[in-house]
Structure 1
């Protein structure tokens, strides 16, 4: 089954596997410009581990391996928790 919204977005914003991969451009439209919000728009200013938590959670249902991506997100969350414990 195809998704008409996804098809329309792909027509206007074609996937670029390096700069704009489809599994990161499937976000909601930006209220200001209408362009789909990309994962990197959210994560670019985060610490590495937290950015990876968001990245893997964001794409969990978009790449065909949701459990694996959520396990990766959990692993990076554990890394961040350990880092914060070591700092305090």
Structure 2
């Protein structure tokens, strides 16, 4: 039986943003700093919400949620939401 590959996760970990063992957003945080990447996440969430009716629909909403969750992760927010 051939090996089973896990399904691709185009929302949370798209292949095009992984360059080896690090994802692009992790390297961005190292290069530009956490605050810059937090701003990037908020702006990307805005972009995906803005265009969702005309382009990506639910896929874009899921991407916006991913960026908002990444913002929370980078903010070290330890609140129970």
- What's the TM-score once normalised by structure 1's chain length? 0.43
The structure with higher relative contact order (CA 8 Å, sep 6+) is: 2
Give the structure with the higher percent helix. Answer: 2
